[in-house]
Amino acid sequence: MAQILVVEDNPVNMELTVDLLESYGYAAVQAEDGFIALEKLQNESIDLILLDIQLPRIDGLELLSRIKSNDSTKDIPVIALTAHSMRGDNERFIAAGCIDYISKPIDIKGFKEKIQLHLSKLN
């Protein structure tokens, strides 16, 4: 079973995302901020990261930079998960190291397809 790290500071968004992932048969590991996420990455075997870009204490792009610069986590695929949908954001998140982008509110059908697509590339 794939383990997906959800980095999200909003409890409602976290609950929705985790519920969706678990309904698809995935294990969800929760982190409310970037420092918790870094700790979870050291202690858990993570297959995919869903990363909110607007986080307290350390923002998503800084966290992404730390993930990608660490040899033990640099190959874990990261999908940006954010309410930001300004023109150019997709390209900015991809350029920073994300493999994809999911905007909030989550489109449930599209969300499932993206998760399945990227997990299938790992096998």
Beta carbons of 26 and 71 less than 8 angstroms apart: no
Residue 12: burial class (beta carbons within 10 Å; 0-12, 13-18, 19+): exposed
Other beta carbons less than 10 A from residue 92's beta carbon:
15
How far is it, in rounded angstroms, from Cα 93 to Cα 114? 16
How far is it, in rounded angstroms, from Cα 62 to Cα 73? 14
Q: What is the CATH number of the domain that holds 82?
A: 3.40.50.2300
Asked whether residue 86 carries a pLDDT value surpassing 80, the answer given is: no
Q: What is the pTM of this model?
A: 0.95
Per-residue b or e along 15-53, where b marks 16 or more CB atoms closer than 10 Å to that residue's CB = ebbbebbeeeebbbbbbbbbebbbebbeeeebbbbbbbb
Q: What's the domain count of the chain?
A: 1
Asked whether residue 122 carries a pLDDT value surpassing 90, the answer given is: no
DSSP state of 106: P
Query: What is the span of the domain harbouring residue 48?
Result: 3-120
List of E strands, the chain: 3-7, 27-31, 48-52, 78-82, 100-103
How far is it, in rounded angstroms, from Cα 54 to Cα 45? 24
Q: Model confidence over 14-48: pLDDT tens digits?
A: 999 999 999 999 999 999 999 999 999 999 999 99
Confidence of residue 84 (pLDDT cuts 50, 70, 90): low
How far is it, in rounded angstroms, from Cα 52 to Cα 80? 6
